[in-house]
Amino acid sequence: MATISGFVPHNRPVKPRKSKLLKKAVSAAADGETAAAVEPKNEVSAPGRPCPLARLPGEIRRMIFSSLDYHSLIRLSTTSRFFHRTVVPRTLADPLEMLQFVLRAANFPQHWPKEKGSNPHPGNFECYICFRIRSPDLFDANQLQQAIIDDQGYVIRGNVSPDTKVVGVSLRRFCIECGLLAGLHAPSDSLTTKTGVEFWVCKCRKLWPRPAVLMCPVCCDTCPFRLRKHGILAPKVPEAAALA
């Protein structure tokens, strides 16, 4: 499965004297605006000549990052490789602020569908789990509309024990990658993207294109679906039954 890439970091070192974002971050720290924040990855020294913000202690940087809004965190994470490793906007920003940002970004003209011309495009879509606007080939055309979760917040697929406390929730749009991580896509699921590409999910919850890959090279699970014949997606028949 092709890795779904995020923001591509800039290769050139940041010049803080020309960065309005860094000036805003430093001034916010000087005003004492602090909040709880988590730096999810290990700190690595910046390549080449690091900017003054990268040379600050980790606690001071976390205080600065917690005072930035979601859009500023995204921009900061794309300024250099160092900040791409240490700044993960989805873990630092407020969920309500991320939701509002994605709703605004979904209306930008560059994400609109293109129905006319020689290269029609269904447009880009928003994911309400990772709060990103993503390509249509990263979304299932027939995704789940509802899910059942237990009291721990885990998705339940299949039979439910009578003693288990469950609740049904309505789902907004989510990308395939987030669906795999959240357990919304289970092994043996067949997915068709909004661009018409077909995938299947193996036992180790990896996504493989069909019919290009019919056996997972990691867990050796086989694709439970045959190729389409006469418009019908038939399940794979075991060899013993086929020879009978």
Determine, yes or no, domain membership for 60: yes
Residue 11, pLDDT above cutoff 70? no
Residue 227, pLDDT above cutoff 70? no
Q: What is the pLDDT, as a whole number, of residue 201?
A: 94
* DSSP output for 88-133: -HHHHS-HHHHHHHHHHHTTSGGGS-B-SSSS-B---EEETTTTEE
* Domain end point (choices 182, 197, 214): 182
Question: Checking phi first, is residue 209 left (phi over 0); if not, alpha (psi -120 to 50) or beta?
Answer: beta
Determine, yes or no, domain membership for 41: yes
Determine, yes or no, domain membership for 195: yes
Same domain, 85 and 36: yes
Determine, yes or no, domain membership for 147: yes
Top pLDDT among 244 and 130 is at 130
Distance CA 73, CA 70 (A): 5
* Domain end point (choices 154, 182, 210): 182
Distance CA 202, CA 205 (A): 5
Tokens representing 14 are 């940041």
Residue 90: band (very low, low, confident or very high) from pLDDT cuts 50, 70, 90 = confident
Q: Which domain holds residue 230?
A: 187-244
Same domain, 46 and 84: yes
Query: Which of 164, 210, 204, 178 shows the shortest CA–CA distance to 191?
Result: 210
- Percent of the chain's residues with pLDDT above 90: 39
* 3-class secondary-structure state, position 61: helix
Residue 158, pLDDT above cutoff 90? no
Q: What amino acid occupies position 50?
A: P
Determine, yes or no, domain membership for 83: yes
pLDDT in tens, 61-77: 888 888 899 989 989 98
**What letter would DSSP give residue 167?**
E
Q: What is the pLDDT, as a whole number, of residue 118?
A: 76
Determine, yes or no, domain membership for 73: yes
Same domain, 37 and 68: yes
Same domain, 176 and 127: yes
Same domain, 23 and 89: yes
Number of domains in the chain: 3
Determine, yes or no, domain membership for 106: no
pLDDT in tens, 33-42: 333 233 334 4
* Domain end point (choices 182, 198, 233): 182
Cβ proximity of 55 and 43 under 8 Å: no
Q: Mean pLDDT over all residues of the chain?
A: 76
pLDDT average, residue stretch 104-117: 88
Residue 214, pLDDT above cutoff 60? yes
Residue 84, pLDDT above cutoff 80? yes
* 3-class secondary-structure state, position 20: helix
Task: Give yes or no for a cis peptide into 211 (omega within 30° of 0).
Answer: yes
Residues 6 or more apart in contact with residue 193 via CB below 8 angstroms: 136, 137, 138, 139, 140, 141, 176, 199
Residue 4, pLDDT above cutoff 60? no
Query: Alpha-carbon dihedral of residues 43, 48, 52, 56, nearest 10 degrees?
Result: 20
Determine, yes or no, domain membership for 154: yes
Q: What is the pLDDT, as a whole number, of residue 232?
A: 41
Same domain, 138 and 202: no
- Percent of the chain's residues with pLDDT above 70: 72
Same domain, 20 and 81: yes
Cβ proximity of 82 and 48 under 8 Å: no
Residue 219, pLDDT above cutoff 50? yes
Same domain, 236 and 221: yes
Question: Checking phi first, is residue 32 left (phi over 0); if not, alpha (psi -120 to 50) or beta?
Answer: left
Residue 157: band (very low, low, confident or very high) from pLDDT cuts 50, 70, 90 = confident
Same domain, 208 and 233: yes
Q: What is the pLDDT, as a whole number, of residue 100?
A: 92
Q: What amino acid occupies position 103?
A: L
